[in-house]
Amino acid sequence: MLTNERIIEEALARITAGYVFPERTAAVEAAIRGRLAAGAYEGLDGPLLCETVTADLQQVCPDKHLRLLWTDEPQSLEPVDDDGGIAAFTALLRAANQGIRRVEHLEGSVGLIELSRIATATDGASAIGAAMQLVAHSSALILDLRACLGGYPEGAAMWCSYFFPDDQVHLNDIYERVGNTTRQYWTVGHLPAPRYLDRPVYVLTSEVTFSGGEDVAYTLQAHGRAVVVGATTRGGAHPTARHAVAEHILVTVPTARAINTVTGTNWEGVGVLPDVQVPADQALEEALKAAVRTP
């Protein structure tokens, strides 16, 4: 069984090697090692260790993706099995209907799609297309991201693509520390369902909305394609890898950062600011009233 000290050492090694802002890693390491030397982590069980180290990490580096996570599912510690958490997250998406929680038609022929996660653009394409097909003839669309906890940039780009006419819209870029590369994200040329054009789109947000969910909300808002209704989101804009540092503990390391082509920045630390700010539990009612009023 790994000691808490060894777990923390493994986590710091991952952070130092992969964090998207390498200039911040020395301060992170110094702070955590200082707490370790002071005995702050002695005797803590797994969940409490994760909570305590995460609080210390974010005190010195307020990046909401930089954390230790406890998982009830045992993780392989073999290097050959380390894929940055992709396989586990893909399995979660498949079990959760590719993140599509609900599709409905509301009063006034308003469509509603509720998402809990943002799927990949490969595995998730048919499910995303099926949802968009069901609302294809609505008069307005409400995309409910209030409980959306994240997902894949490629999937976020696919969701956004439905609201633009072609593949000529440069949505955003993602800079990756490894390789010092920047990947561009454009609207997708071929989609498995009709595009949703010339009709209002409302995106619902809450204090829970995070990461990939924020990506969709921020991108559609910045490009003038949706009205965001609800509460300011959590503020996590950095694509992240997950690495097992113990059988039930993961370190999540932001390895890249998003750059919106309209704003030149992202929502990290500040969240997505709604166009119509209301308590999250009132956002659907507010968006539905606006959608029904719109000619």
Structure tokens, 124:
């998730």
**pLDDT given for residue 295 in this prediction:** 61
How many CA atoms lie less than 13 Å away from 229 in the CB half-sphere?
Answer: 22
pLDDT in tens, 57-107: 999 999 989 999 999 988 878 775 666 677 878 888 899 999 999 999 998
**pLDDT given for residue 192 in this prediction:** 93
**pLDDT given for residue 92 in this prediction:** 86
Contact between 216 and 143 (Cβ < 8 Å): yes
* Under-50 pLDDT residues of the chain: none
pLDDT in tens, 131-157: 999 999 999 999 999 999 999 999 999
| All domains of the chain in start order, with CATH | 4-81 (no CATH), 96-236+271-293 (3.90.226.10)
**pLDDT given for residue 83 in this prediction:** 67
Instruction: Kindly give, in sequence order, each residue whose CB lies less than 8 Å from that of residue 180, ignoring residues fewer than 6 positions away.
Output: none
Burial class (CB in 10 A: 0-12, 13-18, 19+), 207: middle
Contact between 105 and 132 (Cβ < 8 Å): no
**pLDDT given for residue 84 in this prediction:** 67
How many CA atoms lie less than 13 Å away from 136 in the CB half-sphere?
Answer: 12
